Amino acid sequence: MSKIRVETLQAHADAIRCDVLRMITEAGSGHPGGSLSAAECLTYLYFHAMTLDPANPQMADRDRFVLSKGHAAPVLYATLAHRGFFPVADLMGLRKLGSPLQGHPDMRKVPGVEMSTGSLGTGFSTAIGMALAARLDGSNRRTFVLLGDGELDEGQVWEAAMAAGHYKLNRLIAFVDVNGLQIDGFTKDVMNPEPVDQKFAAFGWDVQVIDGHDFKAIHEAVDQASAASGDRPHMIVMRTVKGQGVSFMENQCKWHGSAPSQDELAQALEELAEGGK
């Protein structure tokens, strides 16, 4: 991946982060921390990797993406808007009456959303069903899914992981956003998920561990998974920072589900602008 391409993707990610913060501030509620930690992942998928058509969201052989950590809906909405699925101006309707942009994604209301998620673990299970359906359809399309590390507390995740290994779903590419925090505190204190990589490997997955804020690392991991000729599903464990890009939000449990004030928004946008230079 060229330096120019990385810079272009980073500019998209920075713009998406800014809109995530604007929309959550406008709404007065939302989940900024885990949205910011996933910005590079979604930017890479929607602006570089996935086969899709914003003008035809139901294109038959499109790649699928499921946001299993559905509370991070703001980063999905901002990514879809910047990719052209709906107007960027609509983002300011987050969580408002009459807006399709609910607190968690609704596939019936938002173009580009493949699955309604929010109840943790269900999106991962659905993605495995989608990958199995693609095989039954004789399609080579890929299914992508993003989980949170706190989401790994859910037993349903491990049932689904076992099923993916059993059915040898080699066109399934999953990510875990390991930012180390969840609503109750640090994941290591609430319900330690580590070693994440070894656990998924034990369920029959090919596993890579990367820096989830490094576009080159994401690109290499997805390319490797997409080109693999084996019969295993693929897990990309992303080491990330919750609240990435905003100094007072980084690694702070408070920002799992709190909205910034107008003053905090101004500071955050200034920091993101400086970081993008």
Q: What DSSP string describes 129-167?
A: HHHHHHHHHT----EEEEEETGGGGSHHHHHHHHHHHHT
For the segment 208-230, the average pLDDT, to the nearest whole number, is 97
For the segment 253-263, the average pLDDT, to the nearest whole number, is 97
Looking at domain 6-276, does it have CATH number 1.10.8.10?
no
Task: Indicate whether 131 pLDDT > 80.
Answer: yes
Q: What DSSP string describes 57-77?
A: TT-TT--EEEESSGGGHHHHH
The band of 1, judged by pLDDT with boundaries at 50, 70 and 90, is confident
3-state secondary structure of 11: helix
Task: Indicate whether 275 pLDDT > 90.
Answer: no
Question: Domain residues of the chain, as ranges?
Answer: 6-276
Burial of 72 (0-12, 13-18, 19+ CB in 10 A): buried
Task: Indicate whether 277 pLDDT > 70.
Answer: no
Distance separating the N- and C-terminal Cα atoms of the chain: 20
CA angle 143, 147, 153 (to 5 degrees): 135
pLDDT tens-place string over residues 136-194: 999 999 999 999 999 999 999 999 999 999 999 999 999 999 999 999 999 999 999 99
The whole-model pTM stands at 0.97
pLDDT tens-place string over residues 70-83: 999 999 999 999 99
Buried b (16+ CB within 10 A) or exposed e, 127-145: bbebbbebbeeeeebbbbb
Rounded to the nearest 5 percent, the helix, strand and coil shares of the chain are: 50, 10, 40
CA angle 106, 109, 111 (to 5 degrees): 100
Task: Indicate whether 255 pLDDT > 60.
Answer: yes
> Which parts of 203-259 fold into alpha helices (H)?
215-227
pLDDT tens-place string over residues 44-94: 999 999 999 999 999 999 999 999 999 999 999 999 999 999 999 999 999
CA angle 30, 31, 37 (to 5 degrees): 150
Strands (E), the chain: 64-67, 143-148, 172-178, 181-182, 185-186, 206-211, 234-239
